[in-house]
Amino acid sequence: MRGVFARGTSRGLAVLAAAGLLALSACSSSGGKKSEDTPEGAGPRLKIAMVTHSGAGDTFWDIVQKGAKAAAAKDNVEFLYSADPDGGKQAQLVQAALDKKVDGIIVTLAKPDAMKDVLARAAAAKVPVVSINSGAEESAKLGAVAHFGQDESIAGEAAGTELAKIGAKKALCVVHEQGNVGLEDRCAGAKKTFGGDLQNLFVQGTNMPEVKSSITAKLQADKGIDGILTLGAPFAATAVDAVKETGSKARIGTFDLNKDLIASINSGAIEFAVDQQPYLQGYGAVDELWLLKNNGNVLGGGRPVLTGPAIVTKENAGQLEAFANRGTR
């Protein structure tokens, strides 16, 4: 009897084990799997608009958008994008986003006075706002819950230090958008640490042939200029052309990166770049609005979340080349 009972018990345990496996399989193919796919705290699909002061044809803003779109895909967010360099028109685009009943807005504050009224309307409508890139000092005053970017004054100081390291004594700071507080802060910061003569050169940033003409004319008029600091990657490439055309020996540094700029640093045509990691700005801003809506989180504790500056030279450019080639640095 003991032998028969033991064999029966073994069969019974086997049947129970098989039943348990079937039950587990059924659970993981339905409820269990669904539970894994749905993040805890995830609410309904959100609609988030980003409205910047620049965008069309600018590799920097392409990288910002890539970061934002990556976060939007992860967070199940409908992402809307628009841009206009005119402060009043940028404000109109923000109003258009409000009219579309968006769940959150991401803005740049290059011209904060132009954005004041429309951001007050966003606050009245209880639509949360996050600022990126420009206007860190004005961000909280205008009601934004967080800001993602670099401290432009500190970044400028870093650029001024790099200009001095490459041996420049008399340099240009090429400002491609007058009235942009971030660009002005960069040049002012560079003047603090450069130690030489740094002059601002205002150019028409929407017209690259005119930008080249302005830089060329300045180099021809003053042969003593031995350094150029541009405030965006496309302007650095134009400065390289102007230096070649005039036979100037001015050495070039810039703000921001893209694929072509990494190649220019590797070749020695450009000495350095100050990278503010725009991918992080777009990604972080979308993620912040998702976190705020779904879990009440605010990144930064009321202070700007710094994404830069990071200095890129020939020594470390190779480490970023693969990322730049895919358009995320």
pLDDT in tens, 246-281: 999 999 999 999 999 999 999 999 999 999 999 999
- Residue 235 domain-assigned? yes
- Residue 329 domain-assigned? no
Residues 63 and 281: beta-carbon distance below 8 Å: no
Range of the domain at 168: 152-275
State the helix-helix crossing angle for 233-246 and 59-75, rounded to 10 degrees: 160
Task: Examine the domain organization and report whether 103 and 172 are in the same domain.
Answer: no
Model pLDDT for residues 280-293, shown as the tens digit of each residue: 999 999 999 999 99
Task: State whether residue 198 is helix, strand or coil.
Answer: strand
| pLDDT confidence of residue 39 | 54
Per-residue pLDDT averaged across 134-156, rounded?
Answer: 95
| 152 alpha carbon, distance to own chain's centre | 13
| pLDDT confidence of residue 42 | 60
Task: Examine the domain organization and report whether 201 and 114 are in the same domain.
Answer: no
Task: Examine the domain organization and report whether 261 and 213 are in the same domain.
Answer: yes
Number of structural domains, the chain?
Answer: 2
Task: Examine the domain organization and report whether 189 and 139 are in the same domain.
Answer: no
How far is the C-alpha of 169 from the C-alpha of 110, rounded, in Å?
30
| pLDDT confidence of residue 30 | 39
Task: Examine the domain organization and report whether 133 and 171 are in the same domain.
Answer: no
Task: Examine the domain organization and report whether 287 and 248 are in the same domain.
Answer: no
| pLDDT confidence of residue 43 | 67
Model pLDDT for residues 9-61, shown as the tens digit of each residue: 333 433 333 334 333 344 433 344 443 454 555 668 999 999 999 876 678 99
Closest CA to 133 of 273, 282, 311, 261: 282
Query: Which residue is it, tokens 């031995």?
Result: 226
How far is the C-alpha of 129 from the C-alpha of 48, rounded, in Å?
10
Q: Which of 2-11, 190-199, 300-309 has the highest mean pLDDT?
A: 190-199
| 329 alpha carbon, distance to own chain's centre | 9
Q: Report the percentage of the chain scoring pLDDT > 90.
A: 81
7 pLDDT more than 50: no
How far is the C-alpha of 209 from the C-alpha of 216, rounded, in Å?
10
Task: Examine the domain organization and report whether 157 and 271 are in the same domain.
Answer: yes
Q: Report the percentage of the chain scoring pLDDT > 70.
A: 86
> Which has more pLDDT, 242 or 42?
242
- Residue 66 domain-assigned? yes
- Residue 291 domain-assigned? yes
| pLDDT confidence of residue 21 | 35
Closest CA to 282 of 74, 131, 169, 156: 131
Task: Examine the domain organization and report whether 132 and 190 are in the same domain.
Answer: no
| pLDDT confidence of residue 303 | 92
| pLDDT confidence of residue 253 | 98
Residues 288 and 108: beta-carbon distance below 8 Å: no
Order of strands, sheet of 170-175, starting from the edge strand that comes earlier in the sequence: 197-202, 170-175, 227-230, 251-255, 272-275, 310-312
Task: Examine the domain organization and report whether 265 and 283 are in the same domain.
Answer: no
Task: Examine the domain organization and report whether 102 and 157 are in the same domain.
Answer: no
Task: Examine the domain organization and report whether 250 and 286 are in the same domain.
Answer: no
How far is the C-alpha of 271 from the C-alpha of 286, rounded, in Å?
33
**How many residues in total does the chain contain?**
329
115 pLDDT more than 60: yes
Q: What CATH code is carried by the domain that includes residue 258?
A: 3.40.50.2300
Non-local (6+) Cβ contacts of 122 within 8 A are 94, 98, 105, 129, 143
Write out the two tokens for 20: 């348990």
Q: Is 296 exposed, middle or buried (0-12, 13-18, 19+ CB in 10 A)?
A: exposed
State the helix-helix crossing angle for 233-246 and 259-267, rounded to 10 degrees: 40
